[in-house]
Structures are given as C-alpha cells and as structure tokens.
Amino acid sequence: MDYIKRYESWLGDSFFDEETRSELALLRDNFSEIEERFHKDLEFGTGGLRGIIGAGTNRMNIYTVRKATQGFANYLKKEIKDKELGVLFAYDSRRFSKVFAEEAALVMCGNGIKAYIYDSLRSTPQLSFGVRYLGLSGGVVITASHNPPEYNGYKVYGSDGGQVPFPKDIEIIEEVNRVDSWEKVSIADKDKAVKDGMLVYTGSEVDEAYYNAVLNQSVNKNAVKELGDSLNIVFTPLHGTGNLPVREVLRLAGFKNVHIVKEQEEPDSEFSTVGYPNPEDPNVFKLALELADKVNAEVIIATDPDADRIGAAIKDKSQGYIFLNGNMTGVLLTEYILSHFKEQGRLPADGAVISTIVSTNLTRVIANYYGMDYMEVLTGFKYIGEKIKDMDEAGKGTYLFGFEESYGYLAGTHARDKDAVCTAYLICEMAAAYKMRGMTLYDGLIEIYEKYGCYMEEVKSITLPGIEGTALMKKIMDSFRGSPPVSLGRDRVVKAIDFGAGEVKNLLSGQIEKTALPKSNVLYYDGENDSWMCIRPSGTEPKIKVYFGAYNKSVDECRDKLEEMVKEAMASFEDRKNAKG
C-alpha cells in the first residue's frame, strides 16, 4: 500500500518538523485517515490548491505550499525573461493563512524573485488590484474563500491581476508536478530577505489607490449625496477581510449610517458565530437580521472571508427582509448600470456584459435590450477576467459588468476577479437610487420582471465526500452522458451540451456541432421556453452542483415551473446514484 509507505516516510524523516511528525504519530492505527492524507498529492488545479489543513501529501501545510510555490517560481522564470520578477502575496483570516503566505513569499525570495506581502489581512480583490498597481509578474492569495474553517487554499494570479487562464494554468500545474522532492524547494532566510530588499511588506499606498479605483465605479453619485445620511445599512464581514475595506469605501462615499455586526467584526479563523462562512446561506445572516430589526436597516450586506463574494438582504415595505440570490443581485446591478449609463450618455457602442453558463438567462436579455454585447463563459470568474484581458489586448470591446450566480460580481477593470468591496458600494448606491424613486430594491426587481419577463433559478448540491464520493460523482456524470434527460419539468429538452467532449447535440435533428468554449466536465441541457439545467462537479468542494433556470411571463407560473423541474431532476439523480453497476 503506497499510502502507508508515504506516511511512514514523513513520520520518520527529520526533514519534516517535530510538530508535523507528532501529529502523524497520533494516526498510527487510523488507516482510513492515513489513506485520506497520503493516497495522493494535494492537486494543484487550474486555480491553485485547496484542501483540509493538516500533515500529509493530500493536505494544506507548509510543505505542500512550499512545493506549489517552487513550481510557480519555476514557471515564472521560464515564462518571463524581459523584466524583473515580482510577486504579491495576500492572506485572509483563516488558520495558518499568514504562515502560508510568508512561507510562500520566502520560497519566491529563495528563487531570486522579489516578494511583496501585505502587512496584514487583505481581500482577494485587493490582491488582484495590487498586482496590477505594482506592475508585478503575478500574485498569490492564501484563502479557502467560504469553505469551513478546517480548509485553506492557495490561489494563483497572473500579471494582469486575473486568475491564470488556459493554457498557462496547465503549464504551472506541470511545473508544480515536476517538483518531485520536498528538498528541491529553495527557501530564503526571512531576516536576510528583508535586509536585502527581496521581501517587502506593503499596505497603505496600495490601499489608497484601490479605494479610489472602487469609488470611480460610481454610477449615480447624486443618489449618495441625497440619501447617504439617511440610508440605513447593516454590514457583516463574517469574521473575514471585508471589515476594513468595505467600511472605508462606504465612509469615503458618504454613507453615514453603516451598522456593523459586532460579534462578527473581528477576524476569527474558527468563524465561531457561523461555522460555514458562506454569504449564499441565509443562516449566516442571523445576527445581521437581529441588528437590522433594531436599527430599521434597509439593506443588509455580508462578505465572505476573502471578500470576493457578497450576499444581500433587503427590506420590503410589506414582506420584511428578503434575501437576494446571486442572480437577483446580478440582474439588479446589470439593469442599474446599463440604464443609468444610457441616461447619462455613457453607454459605449462596444459595451460588453459577461456572465457564466450557470447564471440566469435574464442577463442576456437585458444586455441585448441596451444593444450591448453579451458574452457567456464557463463557471469560474477567471474566464470573465480572461475576456476582459482579451478585449484590452485587442483594443476592441468595453467591459461594463460581469457576474456569476455564486455571488461574485465585478464592475470596472481595476481588478480582474470578483470584488465584494466594490459591489457592497454599488448595492448601497443602487438602494439609494431606488429610494429616491420611492422604491425598495425588491420593487426594482419586480420592475425588471415586468419589463423583461420572469426568470427564476435554483441551485442544488449533492455532497459526496471522500474517495467513495469521487467515484460516485464519476458514476453520476457518466450516467447523464450516456442517457440525457428528455424533459425539464413541463418543457422538452431540445439540446444537450457536453463541454467535456466539446459537443452540442440537437436532440430534435440529431445534428452535432462543436462548442465554442474550452473543454470542461460540465453537462448542459436546453429546454423549450428558455428552461435549462446544468450539472458539474464543484471545483472547490466534494459535491456535484445542479443548476436550474425557468422562464414565464408570470412570476407565479415561473415559480411553479421551476419547482416541477427541480423535483423531477432530483428524483432522477437519486435513481442514478443508487443504480447498480
């Protein structure tokens, strides 16, 4: 059993520190845990690393972080030869985030690459912005986003401030995989690296530039001038990095009544008040809702630990607080930005809106209404960042807004990843603009449905942990590939897209075409009447995610269609999961 040999090699090798070997010694008779930790290397995927913290080859620890960084350093030295290399590091409030960031920075220094590191917690969008502002070769942020506290991660960024796209991501993965010995990692002494100017701590200058860039994304400054004193806002950073930047941006913009959830204000690696710090989950808003009731808040916003995702709840005149899902916030912002730009004469002829294949179809309808180009990409914000880069390099196309349904949004091009700090500002400004019209944000959403028709979406997750779960995921995906659904509730399936095979099959004519997007393990089904379903294994968690979308002119009818579709599909998933063979 190879995993036992790997375990014993770590246990007996003095190269690994005493704390690591002591942790492993406690597992001596726990063969299932040893297998989980050592049956493979923690995979460096297209975004980087993400995994449970602990000792072992399949865990996040200083050794796997160092190895990943050595591979990234080797890639940079091969790829960039015409300028001095420099990499920016940021980290969130998770366990060992600062330790991992400093270890990674010292590996860069050990390879002759200058490392800049933020002097305290910073958000992911600040990392993305900072790489661009400082003109560096790349960046790394230590975060596991909204995963539970036992996780951490390592995300890699290119010189444009975006996550590294294909094929560069594959080239980095190959370099990481070539580091076949822990001893091949070069690491500098911290004191010497600082003295030699190879390790540089940075902060306030980049922060100030970032805040100015965010404020420049304003759509309707007059709304803040009129109502910045009276709009009541509740904000929670969920123990993460959003606390300082969100509050500072709202303060600079002119919002005076921003109430912070005190129990969740300070960084906390255990996320003790929520456990699972995901702003997609209404449960994390419990304390925020209690505070909102006390202060009569009109808007509640919550950012995840690295402040790239944001969730919102809004107070309606008759229904109390209503949670906006990721698509609702996305279409509100799309309509807000495009409609105001049109009124102000700021709508460019070559303007573009970008979203993902698992997000609402309503975005396309809104973009088309305003004569803007609509681009659709695979799941993952790096594909949106890649499109922005393509437009910049081609000198054709003006990026206006992009989002994915998983609560990630970006207005403007100051960053190349989703930015919850900027989005927090725009949500509050948008709420003020609607309030000037005597409307809530929920009223604004209904107005959009009345204008374009009702589009509703839902996401279901099937959690399948461990080695057995990986096999079950493959079984389910193979089942759908071999036998696609024939209906989505009351609508017939007319098109099946297998992004893994790169094929689009018209189920009515039998005609097969190639997809325009990169290959990915994703299945997509188009139904009549703008209904759809998409299936994909999560890239960050042990689960299959299933996305649904329905359309009808009537809100009630649309809701009924969606419920039928979800019920039918989930029953099919259960059957396929339990099928023999």
- The one-character DSSP state at 42 is P
Q: Within 10 Å of residue 443's Cβ, how many Cβ atoms?
A: 16
Nearest by Cα to 141 from 128, 151, 150: 128
Sign of CA dihedral 384, 389, 395, 398: positive
Distance CA 12, CA 266 (A): 40
- The one-character DSSP state at 53 is B
Q: What separation in angstroms does the CA of 522 have from each of 169, 240, 487?
A: 19, 31, 18
Question: What are the DSSP calls for 377-441, one per residue?
Answer: E-SSHHHHHHHHHHHHHHT--EEEEEEETTTEEEESSS-SS--HHHHHHHHHHHHHHHHHTT--H
Active-site option among 97, 123, 137, 145: 145
Q: What separation in angstroms does the CA of 338 have from each of 89, 220, 333, 367, 530?
A: 35, 12, 8, 8, 23
Question: What are the DSSP calls for 137-189, one per residue?
Answer: SEEEEE--TTS-TTEEEEEEE-TTSSBPPTTHHHHHHHHHHH---GGG-----
β-partners of residue 272 are: none
Question: Nearest 5°: phi and psi at 214?
Answer: -65, -45
Question: Catalytic site residue 145?
Answer: yes
Nearest by Cα to 238 from 290, 285, 299, 289: 285
Q: Name the strands in the sheet holding 408-411, side by side, starting at the edge strand that comes first in the sequence.
A: 373-377, 351-356, 398-404, 408-411
Distance CA 566, CA 223 (A): 40
Question: What are the DSSP calls for 205-263, one per residue?
Answer: HHHHHHHHHHHTT-S-HHHHHHHTTT-EEEEE-TTSTTHHHHHHHHHHHT--EEEE-GG
* 274 touches 149 (CB < 8 A): no
* 290 touches 264 (CB < 8 A): no
Distance CA 68, CA 66 (A): 5
β-partners of residue 524 are: 497, 534
3 state SS of 565: helix
Name the residues annotated as catalytic: 145
